């Protein structure tokens, strides 16, 4: 029983931080609500146009706002109260969902508002994510960062499996308007949960958001080989081995059209399995090894998925790849939250948004283009091998990533000491206030 208990998710962040509990619950509601719109929106565009190009164009509309506002959102998170940023953007996302609902209720829904809303949602998400991600380092203790990342990933994986399924059923049987109504209600509940978060003001000497501030954050990231390694490995893994765009063609080649939905879900299933057995990761100190091992496992599993001709073997490989991706993600999130100074946390979170969002977009283009030239399965397995090779080369170029140890790394030790000092100051202030009363 003790061995089984050791594998279960570590709930220490949940028990020790009320703000983490609120943020986790808010995220769970938002994941479910956003998936309703995420599924309903492209389906509505398909219904209105009948054009695959029109549906695909939504991705192009979303990419630029995400990049621009993700970088600005990082600078904003370092300059103002992060709680206010989260609440303002959450309210904005709710209003955009309301626009979708009102448009869906029209006798003849319009097409152009769908693209406008898609771009605006991407912009608000870019503004919000750095504030959300950087807040985690402030409200969770240094030694609980891996556990917090695992719990957040577990929340996401459950949502990414259940959310699309329920959204598809709702759209099919109740219509787009019903799905958008659930999204509006979800953002309202999320906003109420956010109100309970403690204020997270910027440092008193924080500069206003500016291009100079963004550049300062980028220079800091480039000066830290460990951070640079986490970004580069994630980008390489997604660029070379993100084959989702060719799944429809892979299912055709395997003569298993029925397996397409399972291909998209398999990665999330693998991540979920790792998530519910992630207790052991809280005892790991060499988080760079987690990044490298997870990305290597992802590449090997994707290569195997392209090599095998049996659909069940392919699905198993995709599930293993999802577990590898989550393992790498836990290592990256822990290093970020354990080493980056508080005054730069927002700007570096903006860079992180680009790290894990641009890669899959470019990976889709790579996979689709190569599949047209060499065939679907070769595009998949060659991408997996390229991922493994690039991870190996990056380890040679940035050996400090592999050597990272949370107990000895100077940036991690400085971040931990600063957090402990702030905790001690807060406890002393509370004690003095109690004595005075």
Check residue 431 and give its pLDDT. Answer: 47
Q: What is the pLDDT of residue 332?
A: 92
For the chain, how far is it from start to end, CA to CA, in angstroms? 48
Residue 208 is given by DSSP the state P
Q: What's residue 426's pLDDT? A: 47
- Give the model's pLDDT for residue 422: 59
* Gyration radius (Cα) of the chain, Å: 22
For residues 214 and 69, the answer to whether their CB atoms sit within 8 Å is no
**What is the reported pLDDT for 113?**
93
Q: pTM of the predicted model, to two decimals?
A: 0.77
191-195: list long-range contacts, CB under 8 Å, 24+ apart. 191/87, 191/90, 191/91, 191/94, 193/22, 193/25, 193/26, 193/29, 194/22, 194/26, 194/83, 194/86, 194/87, 194/90, 195/87
What is the model's pLDDT at position 146?
86
Q: What is the pLDDT of residue 430?
A: 43
For residues 65-81, one letter each, b for 16 or more C-beta atoms within 10 angstroms of the residue's C-beta and e for the rest, the string is bbbebbbbbbbbbbbbe
Mean pLDDT in runs of 10 for the chain (437 residues)?
A: 67 89 91 83 83 71 85 88 93 95 94 93 91 85 85 83 78 88 94 89 73 86 92 92 83 84 84 87 90 96 94 95 94 90 85 78 80 87 95 95 90 79 52 48
Please give the torsion angle defined by the CA atoms of residues 49, 55, 56 and 61, in that order, rounded to the nearest 10 degrees: 100
The pLDDT of residue 4 is: 63
Q: What is the DSSP string of 224-280?
A: -HHHHHHHHHHHHHHHHS--GGGHHHHHHHTT-GGGHHHHHHHHHHHHHHHHHTGGG
């Amino acid at each position: 029983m003790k061995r089984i208990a050791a594998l279960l998710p570590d709930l220490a962040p949940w028990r020790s931080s009320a703000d983490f509990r609120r943020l986790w619950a808010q995220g769970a509601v938002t994941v479910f609500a956003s998936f309703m719109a995420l599924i309903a929106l492209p389906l509505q565009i398909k219904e209105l146009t009948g054009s695959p190009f029109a549906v695909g164009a939504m991705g192009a509309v979303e990419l630029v706002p995400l990049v621009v506002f993700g970088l600005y959102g990082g600078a904003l998170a370092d300059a103002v109260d992060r709680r206010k940023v989260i609440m303002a953007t959450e309210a904005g996302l709710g209003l955009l969902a309301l626009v979708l609902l009102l448009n869906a209720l029209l006798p003849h829904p319009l097409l152009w508002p769908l693209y406008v809303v898609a771009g605006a949602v991407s912009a608000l998400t870019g503004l919000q994510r750095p504030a959300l991600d950087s807040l985690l380092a402030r409200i969770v203790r240094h030694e609980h960062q891996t556990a917090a990342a695992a719990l957040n990933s577990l929340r996401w994986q459950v949502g990414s499996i259940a959310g699309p399924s329920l959204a598809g059923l709702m759209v099919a049987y109740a219509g787009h308007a019903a799905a958008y109504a659930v999204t509006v209600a979800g953002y309202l509940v999320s906003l109420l949960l956010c109100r309970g978060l403690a204020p997270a003001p910027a440092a008193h000497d924080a500069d206003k958001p500016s291009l100079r501030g963004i550049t300062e954050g980028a220079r800091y990231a480039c000066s830290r080989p460990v951070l640079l390694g986490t970004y580069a490995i994630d980008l390489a893994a997604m660029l070379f081995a993100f084959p989702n765009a060719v799944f429809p063609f892979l299912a055709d080649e395997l003569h298993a059209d029925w397996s397409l939905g399972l291909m998209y879900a398999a990665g999330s299933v693998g991540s979920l399995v790792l998530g519910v057995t992630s207790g052991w990761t809280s005892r790991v100190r060499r988080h760079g090894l987690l990044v490298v091992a997870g990305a290597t496992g992802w590449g090997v599993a994707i290569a195997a998925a392209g090599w095998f001709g049996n659909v069940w073997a392919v699905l198993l490989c995709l599930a293993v790849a999802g577990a590898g991706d989550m393992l790498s993600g836990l290592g990256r999130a822990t290093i970020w939250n354990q080493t980056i100074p508080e005054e730069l946390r927002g700007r570096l979170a903006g860079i992180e948004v680009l790290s894990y969002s641009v890669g899959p977009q470019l990976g889709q283009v790579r996979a689709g283009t190569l599949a047209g030239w060499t065939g679907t399965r070769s595009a998949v397995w060659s991408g997996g091998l390229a991922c493994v090779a690039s991870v190996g080369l990056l380890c040679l170029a940035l050996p400090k990533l592999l050597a990272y140890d949370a107990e000895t790394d100077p940036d991690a030790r400085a971040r931990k000491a600063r957090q402990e000092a702030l905790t001690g100051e807060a406890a002393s202030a509370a004690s003095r206030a109690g004595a005075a009363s």
